[in-house]
Amino acid sequence: MPVEGHLRLSHCHNFRDFRELARRRLPSPIFDYIDGAADDEVTKRRNSASFEDCDLVPSVLRGGKDVDLSVTIMGRKLAVPFYGSPTALQRVFHHQGGRAVAAAAAKLGTMFGVSSLGTVALGELRKAYASPQVYQFYFHKDRGLNRAMLKRAKEAGVDVMMLTVDTITGGNRERDLRTGFTIPFRLTFGGMLQFGMKPKWALNYLTHERFSLPQLDEYVDMGAGSMSIGRYFSEMLDPAMNWDDVAEMVQTWEGQFCLKGVMSAADAKRAADIGCTGIVLSNHGGRQLDGSRAAFDQLAEVVDAVGDRLDVMMDGGVQRGTHVLKALSLGAKAVGLGRLYLFPLAAAGQAGVERALELLKDEIARGMKLMGCTSTRDLSRQNLRFRMANRGVENVD
């Protein structure tokens, strides 16, 4: 990576480069909010490392020239086998925020998620782009509020309702405790100094559209600052949410419904039983339960249990095209991205996200050619060997 001052988007060739550019451009409390995870961040590290315990076995002389990267998940075709997982607060990372992510995803022909804590209104994005959209939902104690939010999402034309189930309480993110990062900002003195050191970010933040949380503002006084995100989680979300509540939600929604944060085969079966059409194996990028298993390690077991009943996706630690190839080979229908697009967003807005997604797409296409596959459907467990036989998968001989 070139030295400071000459660091440009065009110098970013991989996840590490984008992360470094974001680190240099963001006040460190914001960088740490994106980069950080719970407790000792063991799960976050394992998420990426899990892919390295698995090797690809290519086939040669198959005469492949063009490759078809498309997949179909939850009734919608995506041009590429990855999608933007819903993430909060994008406007804080870059003044273009969620609009940049939506535009880049639409350009690539893929799906993106709008978080309950997203900074652009669901309806606005739905009108602006025809690409499939997910609305990520948190379950509130107030059932009337839940119903009103579902109704509004339905009216907006949301394709997939995605209920996050791994966040009934906030994770212990110690980097944020140290810097005082929370919304509204309550920075420690050290945290404040860090903001002072990135005047360009501060200028952009202050001279563009005011920060707001439109998905919640109608119901909760978030933007005006009387309710912090921490209090929103502890006071408004329902830690007692259970399978009956979700079954009712699935029926009310009457459409594609996905649970994000399922990890066990037993829970995956229950999701299928209550009518979910998809699940995302996820540990929230290691930001919730530290020590939780990596989704990739858990994937085969869950695909074997429910892969014929609903669409199984996964996220966590994806940084390379070959990671996507490995997940698809194990049976994932598509792969979700978090920090892979957040660092580029923070580093360079829409141009950054587009570059990162294009690079990933190129890596997948190149990897498939080198694997001897012309379609994502050609990928199978025949293409994989595990270094240790602890993945619930017998190496295929």
User: CB neighbours of 188 closer than 8 A, spacing ≥ 6?
Assistant: 178, 179, 180
Q: Cα-atom radius of gyration of the chain, to the nearest Å?
A: 20
Nearest to 164 by CA among 134, 126, 122, 119: 134
Comparing CB distances to ligand FMN, the nearer of 38 and 71 is: 38
3-state class (DSSP) for residue 21: helix
CA–CA gap between residue 332 and residue 18 (Å, rounded):
26
The Cα-based distances of 80 to 108, 266, 324, 326 in angstroms read 7, 29, 10, 15
Burial class of 265 by CB neighbour count within 10 A (0 to 12, 13 to 18, 19+):
middle
Residue of the chain from 27, 81, 132, 316 that contacts ligand FMN (CB under 6 A): 316
| Segment near ligand FMN (CB under 6 A); pick from 66-74, 98-106, 250-258, 337-345 | 337-345
| Segment near ligand FMN (CB under 6 A); pick from 66-74, 224-232, 281-289, 389-397 | 281-289
For residue 170, how many other CB atoms are within 10 A of its CB? 16
Residue of the chain from 27, 29, 81, 338 that contacts ligand FMN (CB under 6 A): 338
CA–CA gap between residue 211 and residue 97 (Å, rounded):
10
Q: Is 333 in the site for ligand FMN (CB under 6 A)?
A: no
What is the nearest approach in angstroms of ligand FMN to the Cβ of residue 4? 24
Residues 59-88: x/- map of binding to ligand FMN (CB under 6 A)? --------------------------xxxx
Comparing CB distances to ligand FMN, the nearer of 314 and 368 is: 314
For residue 244, how many other CB atoms are within 10 A of its CB? 9
CA–CA gap between residue 186 and residue 199 (Å, rounded):
18
- Say if CB 355 and CB 348 are below 8 A apart: yes
Instruction: Report the site for ligand FMN in 221-260 (rule: CB under 6 A).
Output: 260
Q: Is 50 in the site for ligand FMN (CB under 6 A)?
A: no
What is the nearest approach in angstroms of ligand FMN to the Cβ of residue 335? 9
- Say if CB 32 and CB 176 are below 8 A apart: yes
Closest CB to ligand FMN: residue number: 338
Q: Is 285 in the site for ligand FMN (CB under 6 A)?
A: yes
Please, which residues bridge with residue 72 across strands? Answer: 77
CA–CA gap between residue 281 and residue 287 (Å, rounded):
14
Which residues are annotated as catalytic?
284
CA–CA gap between residue 395 and residue 172 (Å, rounded):
37
Comparing CB distances to ligand FMN, the nearer of 67 and 350 is: 350
Comparing CB distances to ligand FMN, the nearer of 171 and 307 is: 171
What is the nearest approach in angstroms of ligand FMN to the Cβ of residue 66? 29
Comparing CB distances to ligand FMN, the nearer of 195 and 296 is: 296
Q: Is 47 in the site for ligand FMN (CB under 6 A)?
A: yes
Comparing CB distances to ligand FMN, the nearer of 81 and 317 is: 317
Query: What is the largest distance, in Å, between two alpha-carbon atoms of the chain?
Result: 64
What is the nearest approach in angstroms of ligand FMN to the Cβ of residue 47? 5
- Say if CB 81 and CB 335 are below 8 A apart: yes
The one-character DSSP state at 292 is: P
- Say if CB 162 and CB 135 are below 8 A apart: yes
Comparing CB distances to ligand FMN, the nearer of 39 and 68 is: 39
What is the nearest approach in angstroms of ligand FMN to the Cβ of residue 137? 9
Comparing CB distances to ligand FMN, the nearer of 227 and 340 is: 340
Instruction: Report the site for ligand FMN in 127-186 (rule: CB under 6 A).
Output: 136, 164
Q: Is 367 in the site for ligand FMN (CB under 6 A)?
A: no
Prior bond of 239 cis (ω within 30°): no
Residue of the chain from 115, 131, 133, 329 that contacts ligand FMN (CB under 6 A): 115
3-state class (DSSP) for residue 84: strand
Residue of the chain from 126, 339, 361, 391 that contacts ligand FMN (CB under 6 A): 339
Residue of the chain from 97, 171, 278, 317 that contacts ligand FMN (CB under 6 A): 317
Please work out the total of residues on this chain that contact ligand FMN, with binding judged by CB under 6 A. Answer: 25
Place of tokens 């740490």: 32
Interface ranges with ligand FMN (CB under 6 A): 34, 47, 85-88, 115, 117, 136, 164, 260, 282, 284-285, 287, 315-318, 336-340, 342
